[in-house]
């Protein structure tokens, strides 16, 4: 079965991204004079504290829920934070902290992006921190799944989470690196993706964290070549057509029935503005699950999802 007979229906002008410009305004400066204390109202009432310390001090409550609009290596969990104090509070959310599901069949997530979250007195705020899975063999999540925020005591996982945050590796190859630290049985060559530079940096960093030698140059080169140009026997594929109004980071990723990343099918960090047609395919003698989900992701946001089912040895796209 060839690619030409199995294309998804083309999508015209699927995406239209525009930049919103904001008019600059001169700052207004207010001076507060408090004779008794000699400080500002803001500094008296504002408190900055890490999320885990705020929980210990019972300044806040935190609950999490699976984010259906994302994937497990972008913004997998929506956190709802409720202030219990009569003062405004600034919370530090730090790379390395964990979001643990109430159902152990699903992935525990590690935060991979630092944030400062300001909440008013007795206020509530919903946030979607960057995060990644640390359990590669568990399911990605489901509608309504709840999470508990907890501190992380694994220094190796904390180190790779901070490295991902510092280098903005919130993508598929970054997820493979986190999995390699979490699972000692994984090979460093499983850290793979279309971006050869970030791949090599992540392999080198993970090797240092887990105490393994970096694979030799020949193995690295061959592993990369096999990933970006794999040999194919029987293929199925499709085409996405879209229009961007600005330069955009784009990748197309393939997920199994549990929502776990299988591989990237396309990656470009700086897709130019304009109309694009992207063809992609995979070998269904290699990827033999009942169905896969294909997602088009732009600037970290899932913009299109297509499900491909195997039925009577045929592949059928469902929308």
Domain positions in the chain are: 3-17+234-318
The pLDDT of residue 183: 96
The topology (CATH level 3) of 3-17+234-318 is: Immunoglobulin-like (2.60.40)
38 band by pLDDT with thresholds 50, 70 and 90: very low
The pLDDT of residue 306: 86
Q: Please give the average per-residue pLDDT across 105-133, as a whole number.
A: 97
Spacing of C-alpha 314 from chain mean position: 32
Q: Please give the average per-residue pLDDT across 132-153, as a whole number.
A: 95
Inter-residue contact 283 to 234 (CB < 8 Å): yes
pLDDT in tens, 2-23: 333 333 333 333 333 332 222 2
CA geometry: angle 292, 104, 258, nearest 5 deg: 0
Percent of the chain with pLDDT over 70: 82
The residues, ordered by sequence, that sit 6+ positions from 183 with a Cβ below 8 Å of its Cβ are 136
Q: How many helices (H) and strands (E) does the chain have?
A: 6, 17
Query: Rg (Cα) of the chain, in Å, rounded?
Result: 23
pLDDT in tens, 176-223: 999 999 999 999 999 999 999 999 999 999 999 999 999 999 999 999
The pLDDT of residue 45: 54
Q: Please determine, for residue 161, whether its predicted confidence score (pLDDT) is greater than 60.
A: yes
The pLDDT of residue 311: 67
- Residue 241 pairs with which residues in a beta bridge? 277
The pLDDT of residue 215: 97
Continuous segment of H or E residues that includes residue 283:
strand 274-283
The pLDDT of residue 265: 94
The residues, ordered by sequence, that sit 6+ positions from 265 with a Cβ below 8 Å of its Cβ are 252, 253, 254, 280, 281, 282, 294
Residue 126: C-alpha distances to residues 67, 90, 119, 121 (Å): 12, 14, 10, 15
Pairing of strands 301-311, 291-298: antiparallel
pLDDT in tens, 73-98: 999 999 999 999 999 999 999 999 99
For residues 238 and 308, give the distance between their C-alpha atoms in angstroms, rounded to a whole number: 10
The pLDDT of residue 11: 32
Burial, 77: exposed, middle or buried (Cβ in 10 Å; 0-12, 13-18, 19+)?
buried
pLDDT in tens, 213-256: 999 999 999 999 999 999 889 888 788 888 888 999 999 999 99
Mean pLDDT over the full length of the chain = 84
Sheet with 89-93, edge to edge strand ranges: 47-50, 89-93, 115-119
The residues, ordered by sequence, that sit 6+ positions from 300 with a Cβ below 8 Å of its Cβ are 74, 75, 170, 249
The pLDDT of residue 12: 33
Count the neighbouring beta carbons within 10 Å of the beta carbon of residue 246.
11
The pLDDT of residue 9: 34
Spacing of C-alpha 128 from chain mean position: 10
pLDDT in tens, 272-307: 999 988 888 899 899 999 889 999 999 999 988 888
The pLDDT of residue 39: 39
Lowest mean pLDDT of 21-30, 213-222, 262-271, 309-318, name the range.
21-30
Burial profile 297-312: b = 16 or more Cβ within 10 angstroms, e = fewer:
bbebebbbebebeeee
Q: In the 8-state DSSP scheme, what is residue 280? A: E
The pLDDT of residue 181: 98
Q: Please give the average per-residue pLDDT across 111-139, as a whole number.
A: 96
Inter-residue contact 257 to 289 (CB < 8 Å): yes
pLDDT in tens, 19-35: 222 223 233 333 332 22
């Amino acid at each position: 079965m060839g690619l030409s007979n199995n294309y998804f229906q083309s999508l015209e002008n699927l995406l239209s991204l525009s930049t919103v410009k904001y008019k600059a305004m001169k700052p207004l400066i207010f001076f507060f004079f408090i004779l008794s204390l000699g400080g500002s109202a803001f500094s008296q009432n504002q408190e900055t504290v890490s999320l885990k310390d705020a929980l210990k001090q019972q300044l806040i409550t935190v609950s999490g829920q699976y984010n259906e609009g994302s994937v497990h290596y972008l913004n997998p969990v929506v956190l709802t934070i409720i202030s219990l104090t009569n003062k405004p509070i600034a919370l530090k959310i730090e790379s390395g902290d964990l979001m643990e599901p109430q159902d152990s069949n699903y992935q525990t997530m590690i935060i991979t992006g630092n944030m400062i979250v300001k909440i008013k007195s007795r206020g509530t705020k919903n946030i979607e921190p960057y995060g990644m899975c640390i359990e590669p063999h568990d399911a990605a999540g489901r509608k309504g799944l709840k999470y508990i925020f907890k501190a992380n005591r694994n220094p190796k996982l904390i180190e790779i989470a901070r490295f991902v945050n510092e280098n903005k590796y919130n993508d598929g190859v970054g997820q493979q690196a986190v999995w390699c630290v979490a699972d000692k049985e994984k090979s460093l060559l499983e850290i793979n993706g279309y971006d050869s530079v970030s791949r090599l940096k992540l392999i080198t960093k993970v090797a240092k964290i887990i105490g393994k030698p970096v694979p030799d140059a020949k193995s690295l080169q061959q592993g990369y070549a096999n990933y970006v140009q794999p040999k194919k026997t029987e293929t199925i594929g499709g085409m996405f057509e879209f229009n961007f109004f600005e330069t955009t980071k784009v990748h197309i990723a393939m997920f199994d029935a549990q929502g776990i990343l299988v591989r990237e099918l396309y990656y470009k960090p700086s897709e130019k503005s304009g109309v694009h047609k992207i063809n992609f395919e995979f070998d269904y003698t290699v990827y033999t699950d009942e169905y896969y989900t294909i997602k088009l992701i732009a600037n970290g946001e899932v913009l299109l999802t297509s499900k491909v089912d195997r039925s009577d040895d045929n592949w059928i796209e469902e929308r």
